[in-house]
Chains A and B, each alone.
Chain A
């Protein structure tokens, strides 16, 4: 099992993760939480409060749209869907993330290996 990742590392990327969760189609909040947990192999421990606050903020910015619908168990649930501006946002963030990871990686990986190992 992968080591648990501390909150401070992914706080800024929570939005990106939520957007990514919606790429496959509309989900309700619990579904997003479960998906994040499952996809990260339980390495990410997202507090539900933070998740919902982020969702509502993104709804206000117009990145996601919300609509009430029925869940698989026929209960009323609020479903979130990516808007086109949300999709654009996700694209930008993925590109930025790749560049970020590459840059950080280039610095941190040699340090981890260390010259003594060379």
Chain B
């Protein structure tokens, strides 16, 4: 039995267990046969006897081959791991040998990876993390909307009525569905009034989410149990001081509605919205407390959000299809409320529901994330440049190792391991710092459901980014360790200081400058845009205006509302410094506000045109108080004693729907063609009522007069001739003794509202500015490094120049010029990148732009930083002693 040739060839490429076993057994059989033949047996008989004696040959070959293969694999792994461990050990020793370098590199990497991972952890919790419930992938959010009035996808995500919810949940496409509705509640415990974010939920809410109560049972649908409520674990622990006998305890809700606590939600229950909910009550209870018997019956009352669990095997699309059938049947049955109502089903994939995902959320998140990616690249390039310089300094050591028999690949691998270990050390540092993020968010009062958490995804991301960082930015320096003339390194001590050798460093430092320019330019543009928005004329007088928002803790009640408004007017107008007071459904810049359908006789509607127009309801003197001049006509005043409802429209609305016709004196119909008629009595100037950024939209105000008892809302506007901050104290005092128990929920100056309406833009531009500053500092350090390096390499030349009569000033100019040339290349590249980025960001920047001043500004910053970075190398170059420079040659 000879070994086949192919097996012998294979053996050259490492151990071959099968061939070994074959050869070993062949030898055994030959020996045995030989012995038996020697004893006088025939060859055939001997062969048979030998095989018989061997037993199951096939099986033995198989078993032994398997064992051998296993061993070979094991040995290979052990060798591999051993050499990796060797590399890691070597890397750790190298890190200890250059502690300063190690700390600087780790800190720089941690900066880049940390900024990026921190933003990622925010995106993770807001957009990526599944809901913290049982089998979250089965959950869907169900919306209804007016099918003909969709301007964009976001308009699909409207609420449902409780009655519609009851019909929709019957579909076999859903295992079940739960309804929930916002509710704001106060409870008084031990004389302290606490406001709670509450939710009205259907009785199956906790069961649907698969999150049983911590203690207690809640079955509000059973007769006589509708006034039973569930509180959150947090409210039990804090507001109720962890009262051990809380079950059965009675609470007074909103001052006059007794409810009984029968359960506590699980401590880890975070709900399905980015809010911290303290109390859950039933629809039955809400209906009684709000005092609207139609709440669960009226199909026009669409304040319910529906969350469903898909039946096994059903997708969101097919569920939408099934629900669309039910919706069509409802539209046929209840045309008054449900005509053209459509249903949309979307996977409940994240804590932020579709309807809260404003148009700016994704672009803003993407911008900040992109900025941190640029930062990551900058820190990477920075570290790569330093690693490269160090590798060059180590060339002699590496050349020695190669000459002692290490393969070049092995050297590259070892250098790469060093860079990876550095990056992973930084990754560990980042994870350590990120662990502080949740408690930081808790300190800032971020609801628990959207606090960034350090989960497996974030950890994995941090490690992956750090490792990717180590590989991407470690490769070039690692190859620089072997791709050169190693013999020359051994000869001249390794440190070859020739500018031509610094090409890689030059490229790195130039790209660093370019990227930091990009960040600076973008942050400058954002800050300029912010500044512009802050100085934008909102169309009303911001100064000396105070906004007080009141809320009826008992829900909406028209009589109480009128009594309260009349009282507020009287009390506030009596304050000496107050010049004008009014009420409205909302104050400017405090939200999206309402829209309501309006029919305008004489205006030819397009088929299916959306006539839902933004509106406010107001009391008399609303525009006077805001300081908005009326262009034509008038607004209601206290002198208007009639109870008719009047309309004031803005300029854009007049232009859009009346054109050249005179609006004042015409009658519109509120709520549609068969709605209530109301006379247009005035046209007011346009104002930025909802956001500062948007262009003025058509908008109208429905004004109530004193004859109808003055209602219109509970946002009270107060104009003063004095200091608005002082007025706030007076307002608080005037409204504290109050026969009508309204709660003051917000009191601020209009200036503060304006300022905080820009809070997100401000936070974003400041974050990017900080990143830009860090980036330019890193770039300056990089520039300093490369200019020093090149200058040191040319010290002989400078010595000769000085000896030949060059002045120190001319040497300084030479070095500075060199630095500035590098900066100019990077700066121009950065400006081009930045202009591209600004073009992409056009939608987020307000107003039209000329980029020249911004470019000039960052150009000046760059020049200043460059001169700073080159000052020391330039000074050093002038101090070269000509004699010693010549001697060194």
Question: Which A residues have a C-beta under 8 Å from some C-beta of B?
Answer: 28-30, 33, 47-50, 52-53, 56-57, 59-60, 71, 75-78
Beta-carbon contact of B53 and A56 below 8 Å: no
Contact indicator A48/B55 (Cβ below 8 Å): yes
- Neighbour of B31 across the interface among A30, A53, A76, CB < 8 A: A30
- 25 A-B Cβ contacts within 8 A? A29-B27, A29-B28, A30-B27, A30-B28, A30-B31, A30-B32, A47-B55, A48-B53, A48-B54, A49-B54, A49-B55, A49-B56, A52-B28, A52-B60, A52-B64, A53-B60, A53-B63, A53-B64, A56-B63, A57-B67, A59-B67, A60-B71, A71-B27, A75-B27, A78-B20
Say yes or no: A29-B24 contact (C-beta < 8 A), given A49-B60, A52-B60, A56-B63. Answer: yes
Which residue of the partner chain, among B27, B55, B70, B71, contacts A77 with CB atoms under 8 Å? B27
A57 to B24, CA, bound (A): 15
CA distance A30 to B70 in the complex (A): 24
Contact A76 B54 (CB under 8 A): no
Does B698 sit at the interface, judged by CB under 8 A? Answer: no
Known: A49-B55, A56-B67, A60-B70. 10 other contacts (CB 8 A): A28-B27, A29-B28, A30-B28, A30-B31, A48-B60, A53-B64, A71-B31, A75-B27, A77-B24, A77-B27
Nearest neighbor of A77 in chain B, beta-carbon distance: B27
Q: How far is the CB of B304 from chain A (nearest CB, A)?
A: 68
Quick one: closest B residue to A50, CB to CB?
B55
Residues of B within 8 A of A28 (CB): 27
Q: Residue-by-residue, is B841-880 near A (CB-CB < 8 Å gives 1, otherwise 0)?
A: 0000000000000000000000000000000000000000
A-B pairs with lowest CB-CB distance, top 5? A49-B55, A47-B55, A49-B60, A48-B54, A30-B31
Q: Digit string of B802-832 for contact with A (CB within 8 Å is 1, else 0)?
A: 0000000000000000000000000000000
Bound state CA distance, A30 and B54, in angstroms? 11
Q: Given the complex, which residues of A lie within 8 Å of B64, measured CB to CB?
A: 52-53, 56
Residues of B within 8 A of A47 (CB): 53-55
Contacts of B763-810 to chain A: CB distance below 8 A: none
In the complex, residue of chain A having the shortest beta-carbon distance to the beta carbon of B54? A48
Give complex CA distance A47, B28 in Å. 12
Cβ of B68 < 8 Å from any Cβ of A?
Answer: yes
Given contacts A30-B28, A48-B53, A56-B67, contact A76 B60 (CB under 8 A): no
- Chain A residues with CB under 8 Å of B28's CB are 29-30, 33, 48, 52
Q: Which B residues are in CB contact (< 8 Å) with A52?
A: 24-25, 28, 60, 64
CB pair A78–B27 under 8 Å, yes or no, is: yes
Is B57 positioned at the interface, with any CB of A under 8 Å from its CB? yes
CB-CB under 8 A from A60, the residues of chain B are 67, 70-71
Give complex CA distance A71, B59 in Å. 26
Docked complex Cα distance between A33 and B35 (Å)? 13
Interface size, B (range) = 20 to 34
Q: How far is the CA of A78 from the CA of B17 in the complex (A)?
A: 12
Cross-chain contact of A59 among B23, B63, B71 (Cβ < 8 A): B71
- The B15-54 residues at the A interface (CB cut-off 8 A) are 20-21, 23-25, 27-28, 30-32, 53-54
CB distance from B71 to the nearest CB of A (A): 5
Complex CA–CA separation, A52 to B21 (angstroms): 9
User: A48 contacts which chain B residues (CB < 8 A)?
Assistant: 28, 53-55, 60
Question: Which residues of chain A are near B24, meaning CB under 8 Å?
Answer: 29, 52, 77-78
Which residue of chain B lies nearest to A37 when distances are taken between CB atoms in the complex?
A: B53
Interface string of B323-358 (1 = CB under 8 A from A): 000000000000000000000000000000000000
CA–CA, A75 to B31, complex, Å? 10
User: CA of A49 to CA of B56 in the docked complex: distance in angstroms?
Assistant: 6
**Contact B27–A49 (Cβ < 8 Å):** no
B50 to A, closest residue via Cβ: A48
Q: Digit string of B66-80 for contact with A (CB within 8 Å is 1, else 0)? A: 011011000000000
Set of chain B residues within 8 Å of A29, measured between Cβ atoms: 24, 27-28
Most central of A33, A56, A59, A77 by chain B CB within 10 Å:
A56
Complex Cα gap A59–B20 (Å): 14
Smallest distance from the beta carbon of A11 to chain B beta carbons, Å? 13
- How long is the Cα–Cα vector from A78 to B57 in the complex, in angstroms? 17
* Complex: A53 Cα to B27 Cα, angstroms: 16
Chain B residues, CB < 8 A from A50? 55, 60
Chain B residues closer than 8 Å to A59, beta-carbon distance: 67, 71
Distance from A75 Cβ to chain B, minimum over Cβ atoms (Å): 6
- Point out the residues of chain B lying under 8 angstroms from A49, CB to CB: 54-57, 59-60
**Inter-chain contacts of B20 with A (CB < 8 A):** 78
Q: In the complex, what's the smallest C-beta–C-beta distance from B57 to chain A, in angstroms?
A: 7
Residues of A within 8 A of B21 (CB): 56
Kindly identify which residue among B31, B57, B68 contacts A56, using a CB–CB cutoff of 8 Å: B68
Complex Cα gap A50–B54 (Å): 8
Note all chain B residues with C-beta closer than 8 A to A33: 28
A48 to B31, CA, bound (A): 13
- Contact check, A76 vs B71: say whether CB atoms are below 8 A apart: no
Task: Kindly report which residue of chain A lies nearest to residue B70, judged by CB atoms.
Answer: A60
Highest count of chain A CB atoms <10 Å: which of B23, B59, B67, B70:
B67
Task: Please give, as numbers and ranges, the residues of chain A lying within 8 Å of B25 by CB-CB distance.
Answer: 52
Residues in B with CB closer than 8 Å to A53 are 60, 63-64
Q: How far is the CA of A29 from the CA of B31 in the complex (A)?
A: 10
B57 to chain A: which residues have CB within 8 Å? Answer: 49
Complex contacts, A57 vs chain B, CB 8 Å: 67
- Smallest CB gap from A58: residue in B: B67
Look across to chain A and name the residue whose beta carbon is closest to the beta carbon of B35: A34
A10 to B27, CA, bound (A): 26
In angstroms, how far is the closest chain B Cβ from the Cβ of A42? 12
Chain A residue nearest to B23 (CB atoms) is A76
Chain B residues whose C-beta falls within 8 Å of the C-beta of A75 in the assembled complex: 27, 30
Separation of A77 and B54 alpha carbons in the complex (Å): 17
Q: Which residues of A contact B32 (CB under 8 A)?
A: 30
Tell me, in angstroms, the Cα distance from A21 to B97 when the chains sit together: 54
CB distance from B319 to the nearest CB of A (A): 57
Q: How far is the CA of A53 from the CA of B238 in the complex (A)?
A: 70
CB proximity of B466 to chain A, nearest CB, Å: 38
Chain B's nearest CB lies how many Å from the CB of A12?
A: 18
Complex alpha-carbon distance, A30 and B30, angstroms: 10
Residue of A nearest to B60 (CB): A49
CA distance A30 to B31 in the complex (A): 7
Q: Which residue of A lies closest to B63 (CB)?
A: A53
Q: From A47, which residue of chain B is reached at the shortest CB distance?
A: B55
How many angstroms from the CA of A60 to the CA of B32 in the assembled complex?
26
Give min CB distance, A118 to chain B, whole Å.
45
Q: How far is the CB of B60 from chain A (nearest CB, A)?
A: 4
Q: Which residue of B lies closest to A32 (CB)?
A: B28
Q: In the complex, A60→B69 CA distance in Å? A: 10
Q: Which residues of B contact A71 (CB under 8 A)?
A: 27, 31
Contact residues of B between 266 and 316, Cβ < 8 Å to A: none
Question: CA A76 – CA B3 in complex, angstroms?
Answer: 12
In the assembled complex, the CB of B76 is this many whole angstroms from the nearest CB of chain A, namely: 14
Rounded to whole Å, the gap between the CB of B65 and the closest CB of chain A is: 9
A28 and B68 CA atoms in complex are apart in Å by 17
- Considering only CB atoms, which chain B residue lies closest to A33 in the complex? B28
The CA-CA distance from A78 to B53 in the complex, in Å, is 20
Q: How far is the CB of B132 from chain A (nearest CB, A)?
A: 48
- The answer for the CA separation of A33 and B60 in the assembled complex, in Å, is 15
A33 to B31, CA, bound (A): 11
User: Considering the chains assembled together, what is the distance between the CA atoms of A59 and B27 in angstroms?
Assistant: 19
List chain B residues, Cβ under 8 A from A56. Answer: 21, 63-64, 67-68
CB neighbours of A77 from chain B (8 A):
24, 27
* Complex interface bits, B429-454 against A, C-beta within 8 A gives 1, otherwise 0: 00000000000000000000000000
A57 vs B63: C-alpha distance when bound (angstroms): 9
For the complex, give the distance between the alpha carbons of A102 and B59 in Å: 37
* Residues from chain A with Cβ under 8 Å of B60 in the complex: 48-50, 52-53
Chain B residues positioned under 8 Å from A78 (CB to CB): 20, 23-24, 27
* Chain B positions 69-125 with a Cβ under 8 Å from a chain A Cβ: 70-71
Separation of A1 and B379 alpha carbons in the complex (Å)? 86
| Most chain A beta-carbon neighbours within 10 Å: one of B32, B60, B70, B71 | B60
Among residues of A, the one whose C-beta sits closest to the C-beta of B65 is A56
Closest A-chain residue to B59, C-beta based? A49
